[in-house]
Amino acid sequence: MQTTCCDKELYEAAARVIREAAAAHVTLATAESCTGGLVAGALTAVPGSSEVFLGSVVSYAIEVKQKVLGVSEEIFAVPELGAVSEPCAQQMAQGVRRTIGSELAVSTTGIAGPGGSEPGKPVGTVWFGVASAHGVHAGVKHFDGSRDDVRREAVLYALQLFHEEIVKK
């Protein structure tokens, strides 16, 4: 099925997450930077998503990451860290889970391109955070292609993370 938000592969991945979350009685939330709400868009394209998807914070600006999600100021003071880092992704996921009150949250923060690369952080670098009652963790992926390609692959991976966490439960 093609929707206004996403192609068939994304829609099917989102539909699987919604089905699994409903069956497991798990509520979901997202904190998105480089994906700009596309993960939430994919999830809410699925009928019945309102049963499990509580909401999202699109925290494109550093100020929003800090004020709304509670990301520590210190992260942005360290050149090796900043918005595209493990602690930022972790704190974004924790912050949206706390703010929205979901059981499971996934965050995305990265460099979609075409510009914006930094030493050690080329275009296509995306950090993902996952927060649940079991704790928080983060990982990094590197995607190739255009800005749209990077964002699409990041959305697909975020949906995969939701799936992996739900089936662990």
What CATH superfamily is the domain 8-168? CinA-like (3.90.950.20)
What b/e sequence results for 130-165 when a residue is b if at least 16 CB atoms lie within 10 Å of its CB, and e otherwise? bbbeeebbbeebebeeebeebbbbbbbbbbebbbeb
Phi, psi at residue 8, to the nearest 5°? Answer: -60, -45
- Confidence (pLDDT) at 85: 97
- Residue whose C-alpha is closest to residue 151's, from 38, 66, 70: 38
| pLDDT attached to residue 8 | 94
- The DSSP bridge pattern shows strands 53-58 and 28-32 to be parallel
Question: What does 11-58 look like in DSSP terms, one character per residue?
Answer: HHHHHHHHHHHHHHT--EEEEESTTTTHHHHHHHTSTTGGGTEEEEEE
Average pLDDT for runs of 10 along the chain of length 169: 74 98 98 98 98 98 98 94 97 99 99 91 98 97 97 98 94
pTM of the predicted protein model: 0.96
Say what the pLDDT of residue 9 is. Answer: 95
Cα dihedral sign, 68-148-104-45? positive
pLDDT at 6: 80
